[in-house]
Structure 1
């Protein structure tokens, strides 16, 4: 009886051991924030010629080795990095298929296991490649991994596509390295095409087929609940490829606004037992590029509002952490972007997983800056790109190179391997049904978009280096483009400034290679610049139609829904009214509330009414905020309730019962009131001196017009009928006229002609960079500035969006 029990126990163990998932064992760290030290030897440059240690993944330049070089060259950066690492392999892996996997290595990479070559050298820096090392391993024992990474490729097309590119060139193993162990018979590939209606097709490839098998597909939500019923398919002996098709009811489709995800489990069975099991996280969505129409995702026409993003961090180069990826995606979402272009190479796996879960459309790009891979290396890299990223719902478009960085002969690989048949675009070209022309000038863009016949989507738009702020001009471009149904979107160049930490220089030096490295919307460490808020407002999926708000306002706002998939009743809206305090940043809330009657489908405009009661009777500023269904701010708009002159009137202290006395000499006019003495130059109207009870005030020498050439035509002064002193300056051009007023209470006031009047009168001052008036004041005495107006960032004439009305304060910092 004991023997029977023992046999039964052994049978149960055998059955359980057949059900195997793929085991993963990291040899490196998982990302730049979690590394593992390997032995390292650099052949040239800094710290070369000796064995030391290096964290993996990393770029060796940032770790103190080799040579920094910013693209565009073939002469520098020819060092090799030699790596060694010892690792253990479990005894029970014997009999399995074991691969060593590299997710990214710059660039020519040779791999040895225990002194023997793992396979042919891999070429191309940004791609996943793997070797079957099952027969090279010592199971239950210590193994030696040796890797030779050449920064300069022996294939000239790789150098042209990658090293001659317009971005930093970093050497090393910069993405994770790991082992994957699978059963002797296993699924080597599962490709899934899950449509928005719940239907799916899955292509499954086995490594071998020496018996009859079956494949089972199960779907689960992210809480582990089974969705629908299993779908199964038989696989006959000798067949290594099969398709499984089916339908799951009640699923939610994936899109960036509602990124619904599921886990799909595919099991390989033999004799009713699971021998291999793989799980992929997927989204159900349908991608179409309709000729002479546009891009449709889930049957809805899409306008991509995106940005180009390099994998970059100043201290770690191309090796990134989880937090780096999260920060970039969150900032893009905060700017109301719905898309990102992975310029100019395939991104990290983790970045795409986060785009899946947080919601961003991705244009996934095979490298080739302005030259492409040949037909030897290129097809391999296209295949590696598709097989690595094919199941991510965020990946909706493949980009084949950039600005000439392609080889048309290699395009067929996308169509051969991608079962979803996603569009293949050529950034800069009108090809395959989409016009992706880069940096269109204003009229040029209108010509291609409004009068074109193909979907228009510049994959690089408004280069940040040249426009004085990345949001500059965006509103004019975008509003004109929106007039055409062919607008498919645009991708701003670029997300962040790419200044790298130079470990070869004294001190803390961040280098952007002059003005070569990208100049972005954000700083190197993702500091928000003024254009961040401009983009946020222009691309907000809720837009407020123009309105004047004052004390007599009827409370009506018109909200336009520019979401693609979201109803406005899924959003939240609130308002606030404030009264400011002159000379400080303090403000007092006079009223607040919510708006609940916003009911508009995508593309519709709805009128809402704000019940503000008497909140505006004391208020200076009215604010209105829109939140998305997750509670994140889309934008906060603000309006002045009263005019600036009314605000300025509050700064008049005391009464006007005093008297102004005036003394005149040949050159000056001296006016005194309430202990304040001001001396004006009769020739040009500038202040010569100001005194109060404490003595001289440092302000003098103005007003002096700046930004244009102008002359003082005449000056005159008088005591006005209402008792104040008035000094008038007339100019040949801007500002036309300036008027000094010294009131009886000692308040000194300057009024300058409004610029809009001057532009109308003097057309010759239209093309100017800046315009205003200046004074003399000792810089060392300037502590800061407080102003009421648009802020907190400076406002340019071509970047008026993204600023809120308020009382702002800035401290002046000196080196």
Structure 2
């Protein structure tokens, strides 16, 4: 019997608190005025880079003036794998008037990586664990009239009890999201419950004809007397018509918080929410006393229902619906994760341009604004806690995981876009002795927690390309299972993808399956006419994606897929063609579109697409006969070369082009109905263009180079005394050695050193010694494979005439790493 997971729900987007007209815009991007007021206080902070948990004794002048968001890892993660993971201090002064003492005051931190302590005038208020969720601390009753000092200790140092312990991404430190000062009445909708809005709205039965509605609110009585209150709820459509309402009266004791549930009327014929039509209603939740509204929360929400099935795929609002999506990390080039709200907006807009309908927020809770955008613009979401790779089996580690899950669910519960809560990614596991995984209980407890916290959404857990979760029964726990498959990148061929997915389906026939990651890396500087696995060429990434999309289209039973990843992102331990960056994005780290962006857009977007591959390959060499492709979903395309038509095509969209020496102009024109598109570029062609560049120099100008090497054995470089020849491989390459053709003299040997560098500055000695006598061609194999861009051969003359004479130098390169790092082994299922 096939299993079916059904969720008939609507959930909402909370506009967390209301901002008065005299305050700045909140992180939700909206302004409102009643009761609670929130002001973003990102300016005029002080920062001290000091790794101590004691409040610094240094005076303010020793601090650096900054604004939030802020991270101390914006740049060092691009320079070294050993980026700063330690503690730092932030300081801010706040002034409160006597009038403000009649209200309750809170500080809300939207994130601090990876843990934080907050002090008010030297007194510790909170110690928050976890680098991605919000936390709040109350200042009421502890403030001084006038000036008050806030000190915040933040640390991203490794801690065995704080997830993530490891991962293929950077663990940035700092106050990298906004901080808000919240003022509210003493009797208020709670601000303290896991830093959430204090309200929940959900539905358990939704159809095109009728939807039920459930609302709850936590009322926090900060007065010194028992209060009679009423929660009044109204649901309004776009025209302002009330489509549902309800209210509930309650008595709340002094100093207590009570959960008040409101019985709502059903909504007839609701307009259903979907990525194509993100219909949102507004829920107004008012806290009233004596008929007066004293606090209010506004929530945007969408009605929809969905189901995951093992044999027929995913359904949205009763119809088959293939989930076509991406994975996203939050950081940006030279900013780290301290990014603006506009950064999030531009990312989501690019995703909508691509035509994606769903998004995995990997591998941690992301900014509330991202979820708001997904609600409003229409993208289904999977969000998860940072349980990645390593597990600590100390009780505190599991407790922290559960707190992170509670933060995530409570803070983002009211977002109509979210359909899955993720419990972990590629967590390493082994047999605990009874046929179950050593992490089995941790995952089972997380699964139980999610279902107790959220009555409507489903759970998911993710593994790499191995069978361990099947062998050790972990796959049985979540409602949906995700597999990360990098077939054709970390191993085998991309055409084995279908075979592997079908194999997993056969082993888990009753479990809905998602391909949570698949992808290949590329560098816009790297091009080849013979693309190979892990060569980082634009052409291989295109080939990889096209093959996978073709295979995915044939698997109707598969619930969905997520390309890894939307954008290149920081991974300091990596040594690929751009060191310290994972380059599997559709766009670069600074959000420049790669070819593969347009390829995917041509497959998933309904907007007319026309893109001529590839404008970044501006210098071509070798044979003049080239193949050029157009990525398009248009009906007819015509290609022109130097103003001459090469014909129209309606299917393959591939043309043979004979390039001419010098400048070549290519332009494609596409037609689809009344829509016309064009795209083109210029390139230079010379059949002698080399894959690497060589320069030479010597200490003395008395005997300069006869020829700079050009790759031809009949020419050579020769100089007397100390000299060097340097090869620029154009990008980071895997170098195993160097082959040198010497000028052959009788009984001649050459003394030399060979060095390598990734950046042309920091050189590592790879060989030092003498060549074999009478060896005209000799290969110098390094002791281990090196990831370098530059090779320098330093010559010190030969034993016959003190000359250094080389006819040809050829790097010995590889596309396969001899020693994979930890994360490459995980990706390869090892």
1:190 is aligned to 199
Secondary structure, counterpart of 1:36 in structure 2:
coil
- CA-CA distance at 1:154 after TM superposition: 4.7
What is the TM-score of this pair, normalised by structure 2?
0.58
Retained in 2: the 8 A contact 1:187–1:268?
Answer: no
User: Which of 552, 556, 559 does residue 488 from structure 1 map onto?
Assistant: 559
Retained in 1: the 8 A contact 2:365–2:384?
Answer: yes
Retained in 1: the 8 A contact 2:211–2:268?
Answer: yes
2:682 is aligned to 809
In 2, distance between residues paired with 1:775 and 1:49?
68
Retained in 2: the 8 A contact 1:71–1:164?
Answer: no
- CA-CA distance at 1:258 after TM superposition: 0.9
Retained in 2: the 8 A contact 1:101–1:130?
Answer: yes
Q: Which moved more, 1:437-446 or 1:481-490?
A: 437-446
User: Which of 458, 473, 486 does residue 544 from structure 2 map onto?
Assistant: 473
2:298 is aligned to 280
Retained in 1: the 8 A contact 2:333–2:589?
Answer: yes
In 2, distance between residues paired with 1:268 and 1:307?
40
2:154 is aligned to 149
Task: Write out aligned runs for 1:355-370 (5 A).
Answer: 355-370=374-389
Retained in 1: the 8 A contact 2:423–2:460?
Answer: yes
Q: 1:56 to 1:398 in 2, by over 3 A?
A: farther
In 2, distance between residues paired with 1:370 and 1:25?
46
Q: Which moved more, 1:488-497 or 1:364-373?
A: 364-373
Task: Write out aligned runs for 1:51-66 (5 A).
Answer: 51-61=62-72
Task: Write out aligned runs for 1:125-136 (5 A).
Answer: 125-136=131-142
- CA-CA distance at 1:324 after TM superposition: 0.9
User: Which of 389, 395, 416 does residue 418 from structure 2 map onto?
Assistant: 395
In 2, distance between residues paired with 1:343 and 1:263?
29
1:797 is aligned to none
2:592 is aligned to 527
Retained in 2: the 8 A contact 1:639–1:805?
Answer: no
Q: Which moved more, 1:201-210 or 1:106-115?
A: 201-210
Retained in 2: the 8 A contact 1:71–1:166?
Answer: no
**Unpaired runs of 5+ in structure 2?**
1-16, 30-39, 192-197, 429-441, 465-474, 488-493, 523-535, 610-629, 647-655, 671-675, 687-692, 694-729, 731-830
2:458 is aligned to 423
User: Which of 32, 42, 46 does residue 49 from structure 2 map onto?
Assistant: 42
1:432 counterpart = 2:484: no
- CA-CA distance at 1:35 after TM superposition: 4.2
Task: Write out aligned runs for 1:281-296 (5 A).
Answer: 281-292=299-310, 293-296=312-315
Secondary structure, counterpart of 2:549 in structure 1:
helix
1:730 is aligned to none
In 1, distance between residues paired with 2:373 and 2:577?
28
Secondary structure, counterpart of 2:484 in structure 1:
coil
- CA-CA distance at 1:352 after TM superposition: 1.3
1:497 counterpart = 2:568: yes
User: Which of 331, 340, 343 does residue 362 from structure 2 map onto?
Assistant: 343
User: Which of 313, 316, 319 does residue 300 from structure 1 map onto?
Assistant: 319
Retained in 2: the 8 A contact 1:255–1:359?
Answer: yes
Q: How many matched pairs?
A: 549
- CA-CA distance at 1:395 after TM superposition: 1.5
- CA-CA distance at 1:240 after TM superposition: 3.4
- Map Cα deviations across residues 597-618 of structure 1 (whole Å, 9 max, x no partner): xxxxxxxxxxxxxxxxxxxxxx
- CA-CA distance at 1:116 after TM superposition: 1.5
Retained in 1: the 8 A contact 2:326–2:563?
Answer: yes
In 1, distance between residues paired with 2:293 and 2:641?
80
2:122 is aligned to 115
Q: 1:786 to 1:232 in 2, by over 3 A?
A: same
Q: Which moved more, 1:364-373 or 1:324-333?
A: 364-373
Q: 1:106 to 1:789 in 2, by over 3 A?
A: same
Retained in 2: the 8 A contact 1:27–1:179?
Answer: no
Secondary structure, counterpart of 2:548 in structure 1:
helix
Q: 1:646 to 1:333 in 2, by over 3 A?
A: closer
In 2, distance between residues paired with 1:517 and 1:168?
14
Secondary structure, counterpart of 2:390 in structure 1:
coil
In 1, distance between residues paired with 2:547 and 2:217?
49
1:687 is aligned to none
**Unpaired runs of 5+ in structure 1?**
1-19, 502-509, 545-623, 625-633, 650-750, 752-770, 778-783, 792-802
Q: 1:240 to 1:648 in 2, by over 3 A?
A: closer
In 2, distance between residues paired with 1:136 and 1:365?
35
Q: 1:444 to 1:280 in 2, by over 3 A?
A: farther
Q: 1:806 to 1:117 in 2, by over 3 A?
A: closer
Retained in 1: the 8 A contact 2:80–2:580?
Answer: no
Alignment RMSD: 4.4
Q: 1:154 to 1:439 in 2, by over 3 A?
A: closer
What is the TM-score of this pair, normalised by structure 1?
0.59
1:81 is aligned to 89
Retained in 2: the 8 A contact 1:71–1:168?
Answer: no
- Map Cα deviations across residues 643-686 of structure 1 (whole Å, 9 max, x no partner): 9999969xxxxxxxxxxxxxxxxxxxxxxxxxxxxxxxxxxxxx
- Map Cα deviations across residues 764-800 of structure 1 (whole Å, 9 max, x no partner): xxxxxxx9999987xxxxxx32136699xxxxxxxxx
In 1, distance between residues paired with 2:262 and 2:497?
44
- Map Cα deviations across residues 448-499 of structure 1 (whole Å, 9 max, x no partner): 3475554332111123356745443333323333333312111111112236
1:175 is aligned to 178
User: Which of 403, 417, 427 does residue 404 from structure 1 map onto?
Assistant: 427
User: Which of 197, 211, 214 does residue 201 from structure 1 map onto?
Assistant: 214
- CA-CA distance at 1:169 after TM superposition: 2.8
Retained in 1: the 8 A contact 2:72–2:172?
Answer: no
Retained in 1: the 8 A contact 2:216–2:260?
Answer: yes
Retained in 1: the 8 A contact 2:107–2:179?
Answer: no
In 2, distance between residues paired with 1:424 and 1:512?
37
Higher relative contact order (CA 8 A, sep 6+): 2
2:247 is aligned to 232
1:663 is aligned to none
1:329 counterpart = 2:208: no
- Map Cα deviations across residues 25-47 of structure 1 (whole Å, 9 max, x no partner): 9799969x9941212211169xx
In 2, distance between residues paired with 1:477 and 1:149?
42
1:210 counterpart = 2:83: no
- Map Cα deviations across residues 707-728 of structure 1 (whole Å, 9 max, x no partner): xxxxxxxxxxxxxxxxxxxxxx
- CA-CA distance at 1:322 after TM superposition: 2.6
Retained in 2: the 8 A contact 1:59–1:173?
Answer: yes
1:256 is aligned to 275
Q: 1:21 to 1:365 in 2, by over 3 A?
A: closer
2:111 is aligned to 104
Retained in 2: the 8 A contact 1:21–1:182?
Answer: no
- CA-CA distance at 1:204 after TM superposition: 2.1
Secondary structure, counterpart of 2:555 in structure 1:
coil
- CA-CA distance at 1:535 after TM superposition: 0.1
1:463 is aligned to 520
User: Which of 148, 163, 167 does residue 158 from structure 1 map onto?
Assistant: 163
Q: 1:385 to 1:357 in 2, by over 3 A?
A: same
Secondary structure, counterpart of 1:122 in structure 2:
strand
In 2, distance between residues paired with 1:49 and 1:114?
15
- Map Cα deviations across residues 88-139 of structure 1 (whole Å, 9 max, x no partner): 3562452x43321110001221111122221x4111111011112212123x
1:717 is aligned to none
Retained in 1: the 8 A contact 2:77–2:170?
Answer: no
1:785 is aligned to 664
